[in-house]
Amino acid sequence: MAVYTQVDEEELEKFLLGYDLGSVMSFKGIAEGVENTNYLLHTERGYYILTLYEKRVVAADLPFFIGLMEHLATRGINCPQPVKNRKGNALGELAGRPAMIVTFLEGVWLRRPNVQHCTALGRAMAELHQAGASFKLHRDNALGLAGWKKLAPLATPRADELAPGLAKLILDELAHVERNWPRALLAGVIHADLFPDNVFFLGEKLSGLIDFYFACNDLFAYDIAICLNSWCFEIDGSFNVTKSRALFAGYNSVRKLEQSEVEALPLLARGAALRILLTRTIDWLNVPPGAMVRPKDPLEYLKKLRFHRRIDHARDYGLAA
C-alpha cells in the first residue's frame, strides 16, 4: 500500500491544465504498489492512474519505461499507456516528484492464481519478450547480478536478526550464482517483476500487464525464473509442479525455450529468489518510523531459495527437456 505523497487539489488542477483530460471527477489514493504513489484519477475523459515516482525509480530511467509501454502497446501487448500532455510529454512533475498519467487497465490481480492462469502468464510473457525485441532503448538490470553484489553488504550485517545463518547463506549463494551465471543465453527486454499483482485478469482471461518499472535488458529465462518463484509456490511453501508445467507450456506455445535456457533454470531460479530475499531483507531491516508500508516477509524467499538449492535439473520443475 502506498500513498507516500499527498497531492492537494490546487496542485492537481494546475498539473491537469497541461492535459486535455477535462476536469476532475474523482481522485483517490490506491493502496497498491510499494514503490510509487498511485492515485486513481477520474476525469471527464475517463479513468486514469496518476503515478508519482518515489525513491527507487530513477528519473533518468523513465524515458525507457514510457517508451517501452508505448512500444509494447503498438505491438498488441495490453498495458497502461502513457498520456501525453499538451506539449507532447508523458512525463511531468507534481508535488516535487516526477509524475505520469497512464490509461486505466481493467482487470483484477489474482491473490490465488490457478494452473490456467499460469498458462496465460507464460504466453503473455513470451509475447512480451517477442514484442520487446524491436525496442531500441537499453536499460541494464539494476537489480541483476551486479546489483545483488552491491545490495549484499546492506543486508548481511543484520540479516541474522531475521534468521540465524542468513548472512552467510546470502554470501555463499551470491558466490555460487556468480560463479555459475550463464553468459550466453538469449536476452532482450524483460519485465523483471511479473508477480501476480502485476498481471490482470478479467474472468479467466489475462487482460494485461502493469508496472514496468523494473523492466530492463536481461536473460529471457530469468523472467521465467522470477515467475517460478512468484506463481508456482503454494501459500504453505510447497512447489506446484503442475503450475510450473503450465507456465512453461504457455511460454513454449509462443516461443520455444532453447535447451540452454531450460538447463539454466535451476540456477536462474536461485538468483531470482536471492534478488527478492536481498531487497526484502533490506526493506525489513530498514522500516522507517511511521512507515505506512508493511514490508513483505523475506523468509518466504529464504524458503524458496532453499527449495531451488535442492533442484538438480529443470525436469524437477516439470520441464520434460
Q: Which residues bind a copy of itself (CB under 8 A)?
A: 1-3, 6-10, 23-32, 40, 42, 104, 106-108, 110-112, 200, 202-203, 290-294
Minimum distance from residue 95 beta carbon to a copy of itself (Å): 11
Minimum distance from residue 204 beta carbon to a copy of itself (Å): 11
Residues in a beta bridge with 251: none
What one-character-per-residue DSSP string does 223-274 give? HHHHHHHHHSB-TTS-B-HHHHHHHHHHHHTTSPPPHHHHHHHHHHHHHHHH
Minimum distance from residue 314 beta carbon to a copy of itself (Å): 30
CA-based torsion, 12, 42, 201, 114: positive or negative: positive
3-state secondary structure of 204: coil
Q: Around Cβ 225, how many Cβ atoms within 10 Å? A: 25
Element (H, E) at 308: helix 298-309
Cβ nearer to a copy of itself, comparing 111 with 183: 111
Whose CA is closest to 277, among 318, 229, 319?
A: 229
Cβ nearer to a copy of itself, comparing 107 with 144: 107
- Is residue 126 within 8 Å of residue 75, measured between CB atoms? no
Cβ nearer to a copy of itself, comparing 117 with 275: 117
Minimum distance from residue 120 beta carbon to a copy of itself (Å): 14
Backbone angles phi, psi at 43, to 5 degrees: -120, 180
Cβ nearer to a copy of itself, comparing 186 with 293: 293
Minimum distance from residue 237 beta carbon to a copy of itself (Å): 18
Minimum distance from residue 188 beta carbon to a copy of itself (Å): 30
Q: Around Cβ 134, how many Cβ atoms within 10 Å? A: 11
- Is residue 255 within 8 Å of residue 129, measured between CB atoms? yes
The order of strands in the sheet holding 46-52 is: 37-43, 46-52, 97-103, 91-94
Cβ nearer to a copy of itself, comparing 175 with 202: 202
CB neighbours of 228 closer than 8 A, spacing ≥ 6? Answer: 244, 247, 265, 269, 272, 317
